[in-house]
Amino acid sequence: MLYYLFHYLRAHYNLPGANVFNYISFRAALAVIISLLISMVFGKKLIRLLHKKQVGESIRDLGLTGQKEKEGTPTMGGLIILASILIPTLLLARLENVYVLLMLAVTIWLGTVGFLDDYIKVFKKDKKGLSGGFKVFGQVGIGLIVGCTLYFNSNVVVKEKIHSAPQTIIGGQEAGISDLPKYENKSVKSMETTIPFIKNNEFDYSWLISFLGDGYKKWAWLIFIPIVILIVTAVSNGANITDGIDGLATGTSAIIGVTLMLLAYVSGNYVFADYLNIMYIPNCSELVIFMSAFVGACVGFLWYNSYPAQVFMGDTGSLALGGIIAVFAIAIRKELLLPLLCGIFLIENLSVMIQVSYFKYTRKKYGEGRRIFKMSPLHHHYQKMNLHESKIVSRFWIVGIMLAVVSIITLKLR
């Protein structure tokens, strides 16, 4: 809204300084500041309200140190995160942009699913919350909407690369200009995505159904949409599982968010895309505004969520965080980086799957269930080893930063 206001003031009244709102970097910085202020100011008031309404977390006894002290800590703090993302985005982003609209829809949709789950747990006193089937239905539903939008919407396009012959440049040395991409003026619909660590690293999803013969590309949605649904569901659940100790999911999401913000910026900037030899996606740079608000919301929430937590995000926040990360990565054609970038979410998910599978297997084979980890998800395993929450979170963050750096390096390391 502010973008349109200052654009109007500049066009009609030549307001000095109004042109600064045309710059992605300025609006991104402003989005971070506004989201931080909202999370800190609104967060404090919401925590007081949750205390007043006695919206406290019911802690299941897992035999973990310090667990009882958390009994009654307010939950549904994800509302702070949602507000801190939505308000700056509505104020600063160009709302006609299909990518921005899609991210807003994902935030509201999954935030609502998580809110319903927390509401049933807190106010209906049902510890199971929303049924697993309904959660999956919500995740599949938004995955279907995202997949259809990215496939069928005419504004979701990429620029095709063209190559020229090698030329002699200053210094008399031969330089292969074909090593640097140039982009045609026309935009094209494409199901291509980026494969990390591979030179000229585009992969077309439609290739997976090339066995259908001539015209197979028109059926690419049959493979693309299910993949989108799978990614959204997996990453959303991964964030939800990771949200088990103070600040872990929030800090990890902030690290991932910074990385995705940088990837969106270079993918939507002709000069950087040209230099880095990556896919150029017109209009996706507007997503930098959204992700800046996302990072600011996560960092601001840490003000209250770091150990000892004054509020928990609940499913209201965790489902939305995971879904946002998944859809954002898909939108900028970097979803194949998610196993690396979201390595913390992945290992948390895998630890649960491995633990449950091994327990069932050994119970069937030996008559008693055996465990690989002391407890799953993995962060509880380290708690059982008597490591303090703060140390576990700090070490997971360090690993997350390392994974983020490697993800960024993939832009050139091929």
Beta strands 167-168 and 158-162, pairing class: unpaired
Sequential pLDDT tens for the chain (414 residues)? 787 887 778 778 888 777 888 889 999 999 999 999 999 888 888 888 888 876 666 666 566 665 666 777 888 899 999 999 999 999 999 999 999 999 999 999 999 999 999 889 888 877 788 888 899 999 999 999 999 999 998 888 887 565 444 443 344 343 444 444 555 556 677 788 888 887 767 888 888 888 888 888 888 888 999 999 999 999 999 999 999 899 999 999 999 999 999 999 999 988 888 888 888 898 899 999 999 999 999 999 999 999 888 999 989 999 999 999 999 999 999 999 999 999 999 999 999 999 999 999 999 988 888 999 999 899 999 999 989 999 999 999 999 999 999 999 988 876
Q: pLDDT tens across 102-148, in order?
A: 999 999 999 999 999 988 988 887 778 888 889 999 999 999 999 99
Q: pLDDT tens across 277-326, in order?
A: 888 898 899 999 999 999 999 999 999 999 888 999 989 999 999 999 99
Phi, psi of 146 (to 5 degrees): -65, -50
Q: For 202, which DSSP code?
A: E
Going from N- to C-terminal start, the domains of the chain cover 18-56+69-156+218-333
> In b/e form, how buried is each residue of 57-66, taking b as 16+ CB within 10 angstroms?
beeeeeebee
Q: For 385, which DSSP code?
A: T
Question: d(Cα 194, Cα 325) in Å, to the nearest integer?
Answer: 16
Q: For the residues of 274-323, what is the DSSP string, one character each?
A: HHHT----TTGGGHHHHHHHHHHHHHHHHHHHSSSPS---HHHHHHHHHH
Dihedral of alpha carbons 255, 256, 257, 260, sign: positive
Q: What is the pLDDT of residue 5?
A: 81
Torsion of CA 400, 349, 352, 243, to 10 degrees: 70
Q: What is the 3-state secondary structure (H, E, C) of 141-194?
A: HHHHHHHHHHHHCCCCCEEEEECCCCEECCCCCEECHHHCCEEEEEEECCCEEE
Q: What is the pLDDT of residue 132?
A: 83
8 Å CB contact between 325 and 240: no
Distance of CA 343 to the CA centre of its chain: 13
Mean pLDDT, rounded, of the chain: 86
Q: What is the pLDDT of residue 63?
A: 61
Distance of CA 85 to the CA centre of its chain: 12
Question: d(Cα 78, Cα 97) in Å, to the nearest integer?
Answer: 26
Q: What is the pLDDT of residue 186?
A: 61
Question: d(Cα 89, Cα 91) in Å, to the nearest integer?
Answer: 5
Type and span of the H or E element at 225: helix 221-242
